[in-house]
Amino acid sequence: MTISRREMIQQTAAAAAALPLVRALPPLAPVPPKFFTAAEFALVDEMSDMIIPTDQQSAGARAAGCATYIDARLAEAFEKDEPQHWRAGIKAVEALSQEMHGKPFMASTPDQRLALLTRIAVAESDPKTDAEKFFRQIKGATIRAYYTSKIGIHDDQQYKGNVIQPGDYAGYDAT
Partner 1 sequence: MTLIRFRASQVQDADLSVTYDAVVVGSGAAGGMAAHVLTSQGMKVLLLEAGKKIDINAELRSMEWPYDHPRRGEAPPGYHAIRFNEYNVRKPPYAKGSAFKHVFSYVGGWGGSDYVKNILVDEKDHPYTGTKYAWVRARLLGGKTNIWGRLALRLSDYDFKGKTHDGYGEDWPISYADLEPYYDKVDLYLGISGHKENLPHLPDSLFQRPNKLTASEVKLRKSLAGMGRTLTPYRAGVTTDGVKNKYRSKCFGRGACGRRPGGCDIHAAFDSPTGLIYPAMDTGNLTLRTNSIAHEVLVDPNTGKARGVSFVDSQNHRTYEAKAKVVILAASTLESARLLLLSKSRAYPNGIGNSSGHVGHNFCEHVMGPGVTGLVKEMVGAPPTLDDGKPGGFYVPRFRNLQDKQPGFIRGYGFEGGSGFSIFPDSAWDTPGFGGQFKKSVREHAGAFISMGGFGEVLARYENYVDLDPVEKDAWGIPVLRFNYQFGDNEKKMCEDMANAGKEMFEAAGIEVVGVDKNILTEGWSIHELGTARMGTDPKTSVLNQFQQSHDVKNLLVVDGSSHVSASCQNPTWTIMALAWRSCEHLADEFKRGNV
Write the DSSP assignment of 67-90 as a string of letters.
HHHHHHHHHT-SSTHHHHHHHHHH
| Per rule CB under 8 A, count of chain residues that contact partner 1 | 44
Among 15, 22, 31, 164, binds partner 1 (CB under 8 A): 164
Compute the least distance from the CB of residue 146 to partner 1, in Å. 9
CB 120 within 8 A of CB 132: yes
**Phi, psi (5° rounding) for residue 9?**
-60, -45
- Asked if 150 is part of the footprint of partner 1 (rule: CB under 8 A), the reply reads yes
- Residue 58 · residue 156 · CB < 8 Å: yes
Q: Confirm or reject binding of residue 159 to partner 1 (CB under 8 A).
A: yes
| Count of all residues that appear for the chain in the document | 175
Taking the complex as a whole, how short is the minimal distance between the CB of residue 35 and partner 1, in angstroms? 12
Per CB under 8 A, residues contacting partner 1 are: 1, 50-53, 55, 57, 60, 69, 73, 76-78, 117, 121, 124-125, 139-140, 143-145, 147-150, 153, 156-166, 169-174
